[in-house]
Each structure stands twice: as C-alpha cells, then as structure tokens.
Amino acid sequence: MIKNNIGMDQPNEINEKNMISELDSVSEMKEMKVVSHMNSNERTTVDSTNEELDQLTFADNMEPITVSRKVTHGKGNMAGKRAGRFSMLLGACALTLGLTVAAPSAGAQKLEQGVRSEHVLQLQEQLSDLGYFDAGMTGYYGTITKGAVRKFQQAQGLSADGVAGPATLNRLNKKAKAEGETLRQLAKLIHGEARGESFEGQVAVGAVVMNRVHSNAFPSSISKVIFQKGQFTAVDDGQFNTKPTQTSYRAARKALNGADPTNGALYYYNPKIATSEWSKSRPTLLTIGQHDFTR
C-alpha cells in the first residue's frame, strides 16, 4: 500500500508515451491451472479462489508451440505415418511433462523508438552495463535509448541508425548478459503489495509504478520509484523480499507493456486499514479489489 506523498518535489526527465504489446496465446495447448497458496495479508484479504489462474507463461511476441501432424497417407508409406505419429508423441510428452520452450532473446526482435516492453528494459540494462546508457530504466524506447543504441552501433562497426534490429541485439547479447533485475524488482513489489488481489489488481499496482516513472512528480526510473522512501509498505516491512510468483511476473510484464487498468493513477490505498488522511482526501478514480486508486 502507498502510504503518503513523500518525494513529490523531485523533478525528472519525461520519457515518451507508450506502445503496448500483448502476450501471445499458445495454440492447441490444454489450459493448465496453477493453484496459488497465499499467506494471509492484513492489507489484502481476497478469497484465493478469485485469483486468476496462470496458464503456461511465455514472453511477449513468442511464437506458439506447434507440433507437426503432417502424415503421408499414400499406400504403403508406413515410414511417413510412423514419422508423423512420433512427432505427435514427442509433442504430447512435452506437454505432459510440463516442458516449456525458452522465450526468444531480444535479439529475435526489432526494437525502435516508441516501443514499450520488457525487451526494451532488458536492452537498457545491457547498454547500462556496457556504459552507453546512464538514464533511468523505464522500459520505454525514447530518444535517450536511441542515442545509446547509436553509440553502441558506432563502437561495434554496425549501421548506426539507432534502431536495435537483430544484428545489433545479437551483438549486444554477446557483450552483456541480460539479468532482468528491474523486471524482478517490479514483480517483487507487485507480489508484496497485491498478492491477494486479482490479476487485474496486480497489474494495476504495476501500472501505478509505471505511471510514476512517466510523471514529473517522481523519479524517472522504475527502481528509484519502487525504493523511494516511505512510498510502498511492502518495501518498508520486508514483504518486498518474498519470492514473486509467475502471476506477479506476468502482471509486471503487462504493466511494462503499457496495460493500465487504473487510467493513470499515481496512488492507491486500502480504505479499510489506511490511516493517512491525505490518501483518503484524494478523489477516487476507481476501486479494484481491496484498493482505491487515486491521482
């Protein structure tokens, strides 16, 4: 829960607005339900049966798994039939065992100005590790990110157009390991603040963080927004350090990709337990689960 309005006077550089990409669905895959065992939380006490259950999670823009079912039915062509059946069997075994295919690296995509996603966040982290990017991690491909990409391209003898295509991203992946620390921090905050909420409620908490990143009143960095003093109860009481779930990661990715169920909220609180009169005095935009969201 956001506790108060500390740190509102900090200016920051505005990054440009959003471009949203959605998670791809997996074709012909049976829905797998995951039961989430929640610890009791005094801030959010929603019945766990209302929490949206996860399906197998894949990164944005990932191609769906396909299992070859092409079988030659020509007379006497038993080899073709066996090959088709074997391919189907392998696919069935993979699904039965719960195997997943690793998401493609950002090198399989084209990232350019205007894109907003977890892959841009990964790009920024890698460029920062190499000394080309010294701004806040936002997940948005703005002019600063474009300039950093251009500098990297020039240093590597690549076409310096500021667009991170496959050649640039593959070279970058060879130079710096993608740690995903900022995505992990956002997932941990969502888990600590809203693990008892619906999936929409968890995305909403992540969206508040992203809205702050793009607001003049808060730091222009996901990490700095999360750790700004006195802002999030989960950071102050240690619940931020609990292990996030796949649902928390999914919600973090949705928020990074621009999903915002709150319509621009900068604050939220649980009216049943909140003690801050300042929070209660602000007009409520909407209520999702146990949280009222405000600007």
Q: Provide φ and ψ at 244, rounded to 5°.
A: -75, 155
Which is more confidently placed, 8 or 208?
Answer: 208
Q: Sheet containing 291-294: which strands, arranged edge to edge?
A: 267-269, 291-294, 284-288
- Rounded to an integer, the average pLDDT of 197-209 is 98
Q: Is 151 exposed, middle or buried (0-12, 13-18, 19+ CB in 10 A)?
A: middle
pTM: 0.66
How far from 162 is each of 54, 106, 149, 256, 269, CA to CA, in Å?
37, 15, 5, 21, 41
Please name each of the domains of the chain with its CATH number.
106-175 (1.10.101.10), 181-294 (1.10.10.2520)
pLDDT, tens digit (0-9, with 9 covering 90-100), for 84-139? 454 445 444 444 444 333 333 444 479 999 999 999 999 999 999 999 999 999 99
Q: What is the mean pLDDT of the chain?
A: 74
**Residue given tokens 């829905």 in the structure block:** 31
pLDDT, tens digit (0-9, with 9 covering 90-100), for 33-90? 333 333 333 333 333 333 333 333 333 333 322 222 232 333 344 444 444 454 445 4
pLDDT at residue 12 in the model: 39
* Position 147 confidence tier, pLDDT thresholds 50, 70, 90: very high
Q: What is the 3-state secondary structure (H, E, C) of 121-178?
A: HHHHHHHHHCCCCCCCCCCECCHHHHHHHHHHHHHCCCCCCCCECHHHHHHHHHHCCC
What percentage of residues in the chain have a pLDDT greater than 70? 63
pLDDT at residue 276 in the model: 82
